[in-house]
Structure 1
Amino acid sequence: MFWGFRLEFKQSLRTKKLWVILGVMMLLYIPGFYLQKSSGQEIETVGQAVSTLINGINGLGSFFIGILALLIGATAINSEIEKGTLRVAMSKPIKRLSYIGGKFLAHTAVLLLALLLTTVIGIIGVVWLGAPVKGQLITDSLLLNGLLLLAMVQLVALGYILSTFIKSSNTALGVALVVMFVVFMIMPSVIQFMAAKDTLLSENPDWQAYQEKSKEYQTKYLFYVPTTQIDVIVSDATVIEGDIANPSIEYVGIGHAIKSNPTNLFNLAFLTLVYLAIAFYRFLRMDLR
Structure 2
Amino acid sequence: MNPVLNIALKEVYVQIKTKRFAIMVALFVLLSLSFAYMIKNFVLGNPEIGEMYRQLYAGTSPFQMMFVSSFSGALNNLLPFLGGLLGYDIINRELEQGTIKITLSKPIYRDQFLFGKFFGSALTITVGVLIFYSLTLAFSLLLGIAVTWKDLSMLIATIPFSIIYALIFLVFGMLFSVIIKKPSTALLVTIIFIFFLQFLYPMIVSIVTMFIYRDELFQAALMSNQTTMYNPAWEKYVHTLRTLMYIVPSSHYGSIVGSIFGQKIEIMNFQFFGGSMFEDRTILESLSLVWQNIVALIVILLLPFAIAYAKFMNRDLN
- Over 3 Å counting, the alpha-carbon distance change for 1:102 and 1:57 in structure 2 is farther
2:218 to 202, 205, 210: 202
Q: Does 1:13 align with 2:42?
A: no
Write the mapping of 1:206-285 to structure 2, written as runs, cut at 5 A: 216-217=239-240, 219-236=242-259, 237-239=262-264, 244=273, 246-247=275-276, 249-252=278-281, 255-285=284-314
1:168: Cα distance to partner?
1.5
- Over 3 Å counting, the alpha-carbon distance change for 1:208 and 1:75 in structure 2 is farther
1:61 to 68, 75, 97: 75
Q: Do the aligned partners of 1:75 and 1:173 also contact (CA within 8 Å) in 2?
A: yes
Q: Do the aligned partners of 2:12 and 2:120 also contact (CA within 8 Å) in 1?
A: yes
Q: Distance in 2 between matches of 1:217 and 1:261?
A: 18
1:210: Cα distance to partner?
8.2
Q: Distance in 1 between matches of 2:112 and 2:84?
A: 21
Q: Distance in 1 between matches of 2:37 and 2:7?
A: 42
- 1:137 is matched with 151
AA aligned opposite 1:252: R
Q: Does 1:117 align with 2:140?
A: no
1:286: Cα distance to partner?
0.9
Q: Do the aligned partners of 2:209 and 2:237 also contact (CA within 8 Å) in 1?
A: yes
Q: TM-score by structure 2 length?
A: 0.79
Q: Do the aligned partners of 1:2 and 1:102 also contact (CA within 8 Å) in 2?
A: yes
Q: Structure 2: where are the runs of 5+ without partners?
A: 46-53, 225-229
Structure 1, 173-182 or 27-36: larger mean CA deviation: 27-36
Q: CA offsets per residue over residues 113-157 of structure 1, 9 Å max, x none? A: 111111112122334445443332122112222111111111111
- 2:29 is matched with 26
AA aligned opposite 1:204: A
Q: Do the aligned partners of 1:218 and 1:228 also contact (CA within 8 Å) in 2?
A: no
- 1:186 is matched with 200
- 1:76 is matched with 90
1:5: Cα distance to partner?
0.7
Q: TM-score by structure 1 length?
A: 0.86
- Over 3 Å counting, the alpha-carbon distance change for 1:85 and 1:172 in structure 2 is same
Q: Do the aligned partners of 2:21 and 2:82 also contact (CA within 8 Å) in 1?
A: yes
- Over 3 Å counting, the alpha-carbon distance change for 1:154 and 1:131 in structure 2 is same
Q: Do the aligned partners of 2:205 and 2:241 also contact (CA within 8 Å) in 1?
A: yes
AA aligned opposite 1:138: L
Alignment root-mean-square deviation, CA? 3.1
Q: Distance in 1 between matches of 2:177 and 2:128?
A: 22
SS of alignment partner, residue 238 of structure 1: coil
- Over 3 Å counting, the alpha-carbon distance change for 1:161 and 1:141 in structure 2 is same
AA aligned opposite 1:233: I
Greater CA radius of gyration, 1 or 2?
A: 2
Structure 1, 110-119 or 39-48: larger mean CA deviation: 39-48
Structure 1, 129-138 or 238-247: larger mean CA deviation: 238-247
AA aligned opposite 1:224: I
AA aligned opposite 2:170: V
Q: Distance in 2 between matches of 1:137 and 1:215?
A: 30
Structure 1, 109-118 or 43-52: larger mean CA deviation: 43-52
- Over 3 Å counting, the alpha-carbon distance change for 1:79 and 1:208 in structure 2 is farther
AA aligned opposite 2:302: L
Q: CA offsets per residue over residues 183-238 of structure 1, 9 Å max, x none? A: 11111112233454437842122698787667644542222221121123334432
Q: Do the aligned partners of 2:39 and 2:70 also contact (CA within 8 Å) in 1?
A: no
SS of alignment partner, residue 220 of structure 2: coil
SS of alignment partner, residue 269 of structure 1: helix
